[in-house]
């Protein structure tokens, strides 16, 4: 596994400082590797800032978090890392606070839910870099053939699923609670039932009455009535559910922008609507973000800040978002994209972002809680599953993990 160097910075160059950035690759081939994006950004920045060189190492998502962890462990932290999680490094005191490196204008431009998700104890360390939300996808051919309209409430979703099941659709509603990405499907359903992973003061509330009610409904009204397909939800992974949707075997499922590309490639026509809630559209949908962080080790606070202000310019944020079909993390870029693509498919995801809720990634305990959810959440919808009991066990372990932080 070789890092890909972008930019001209290196030994022997005349720059006063060489910044090192490790970044994740959002491309799916050499042709659209993130290396190309960073090459362009670095060239523009270095032209404007002759005293600062930037070296970028682009690594696959399979490796990037682990590689950064190893670098930090060896005492060789990069100046900047654009990866999946920041909270551990913040808790260890290894990161600059966002307001120590960013201009006021740049920091104020982040969308509020994303900036808040970057906080540990109300101080922002994680700078959102890329984001997405989720929508309910439905197969338009299956819906048209059955004369159905997309659901806006749980009861409508169940009614549609019953018709699809009667017509022989393999997965009327695909419910991937398997270990691959169970925390996402779990949170989407919690939010649609008025709950979530945490309460208003950011304490874990996994076993809340709303969450127990949501999973009881899922167990009895969808899974128990045979409306979620031949495979137990606890064994169905998201990748498998997406692939089945792209084969035309799924009536409905929750999905993110990547699924649009997959479905189109296979010629499956689809529509997308906001997640149904108990009695109508859910109050909030799930958002996710990847993170940029600035390490203190090399002391390049000022130079790193200059580069980050450049990276987060409206032009660069928009270019990245448009290239990879993901949502901008700043208000200025979001407003521009909404004006340009408001009625487009990506525009529908964008519309959900301001009220989205993210995983509680600012808690170092979240990694452990997420692992517990992956392992156990499928049990809540089994035939004799006890949602209150399973959620209670996950909650108790979450509280214990948090008190050990």
Tell which CATH architecture fits domain 135-285+365-403: 3-Layer(aba) Sandwich (3.40)
User: What DSSP string runs through 219-265?
Assistant: IIIIITTT-S-SS-GGG--HHHHHHHHHTT-EEEEEE-THHHHHHHH
Give residue-wise pLDDT tens across range 197-243.
999 888 999 999 999 999 999 999 999 999 999 999 999 999 999 99
Domain 4-131+289-353, CATH among 3.40.50.970, 3.40.190.10, 3.40.630.10, 3.30.750.200? 3.40.190.10
What burial letters (b/e) apply to 359-398, b meaning 16+ CB within 10 Å?
bbbbbbbbebbbebbbebbbbbbeeebbbeebbebbbebb
Give residue-wise pLDDT tens across range 394-403.
999 999 998 8
Give residue-wise pLDDT tens across range 230-283.
999 999 999 999 999 999 999 999 999 889 989 999 999 999 999 999 999 898
Give the CA angle between residues 311, 316, 319 to the nearest 5°: 145
pLDDT for the residue numbered 112: 93
pLDDT for the residue numbered 7: 37
Give residue-wise pLDDT tens across range 346-371.
889 999 998 899 999 999 999 899 99
pLDDT for the residue numbered 2: 36
Give residue 134's pLDDT band: very low, low, confident or very high (50, 70, 90): very high
pLDDT for the residue numbered 10: 39
99: pLDDT strictly greater than 50: yes
pLDDT for the residue numbered 151: 98
Is it true that 4-131+289-353 and 135-285+365-403 share their CATH fold?
yes
For the segment 318-326, the average pLDDT, to the nearest whole number, is 92
pLDDT for the residue numbered 5: 35
pLDDT for the residue numbered 12: 36
What are the boundaries of each domain within the chain? Answer: 4-131+289-353, 135-285+365-403
What pTM was estimated for this model as a whole?
A: 0.87
CA atoms lying within 13 Å on the CB side of residue 22:
24
């Amino acid at each position: 596994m070789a890092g890909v160097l972008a930019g001209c910075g290196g030994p022997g160059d005349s720059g006063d400082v060489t910044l090192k950035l490790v970044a994740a690759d959002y491309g799916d081939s050499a042709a659209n590797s993130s290396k190309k994006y960073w090459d362009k950004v670095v060239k523009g920045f270095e032209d404007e800032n002759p005293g600062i060189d930037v070296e970028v190492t682009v690594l696959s998502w399979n490796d990037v978090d682990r590689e950064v962890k190893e670098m930090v462990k060896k005492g060789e932290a990069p100046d900047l890392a654009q990866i999946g999680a920041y909270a551990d490094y913040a808790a260890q005191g290894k990161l600059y606070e966002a307001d120590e490196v960013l201009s006021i204008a740049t920091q104020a431009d982040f969308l509020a839910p994303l900036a808040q998700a970057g906080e540990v104890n109300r101080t922002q360390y994680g700078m959102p870099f890329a984001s997405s939300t989720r929508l309910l996808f439905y197969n338009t051919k299956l819906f048209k053939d059955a004369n159905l309209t997309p659901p806006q409430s749980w009861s409508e979703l169940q009614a549609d699923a019953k018709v699809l099941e009667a017509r022989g659709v393999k997965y009327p509603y695909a419910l991937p609670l398997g270990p691959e990405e169970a925390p996402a499907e779990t949170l989407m359903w919690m939010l649609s039932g008025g709950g979530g992973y945490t309460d208003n003061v950011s304490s874990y509330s996994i076993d809340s009455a709303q969450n127990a009610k949501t999973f009881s409904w899922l167990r009895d009204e969808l899974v128990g009535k045979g409306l979620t397909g031949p495979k137990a939800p606890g064994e169905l992974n998201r990748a498998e559910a997406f692939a089945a949707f792209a084969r035309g075997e799924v009536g409905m499922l929750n999905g993110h922008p990547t699924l649009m590309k997959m479905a189109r490639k296979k010629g499956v026509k689809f529509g997308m609507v906001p997640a149904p809630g108990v009695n109508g559209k859910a109050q909030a949908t799930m958002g996710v973000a990847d993170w940029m962080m600035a390490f203190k080790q090399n002391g390049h606070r000022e130079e790193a800040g200059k580069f980050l202000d450049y990276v987060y310019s409206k032009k660069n944020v928009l270019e990245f978002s448009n290239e990879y079909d993901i949502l901008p993390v700043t208000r200025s870029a979001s407003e521009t994209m909404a004006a340009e693509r408001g009625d487009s498919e990506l525009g529908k995801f964008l519309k959900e972002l301001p009220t989205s809720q993210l995983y509680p990634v600012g808690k170092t305990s979240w990694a452990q809680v997420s692992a517990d959810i992956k392992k156990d959440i499928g049990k809540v919808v089994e035939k004799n599953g006890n949602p209150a009991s399973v959620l209670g066990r996950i909650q108790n372990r979450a509280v214990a993990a948090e008190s050990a932080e």
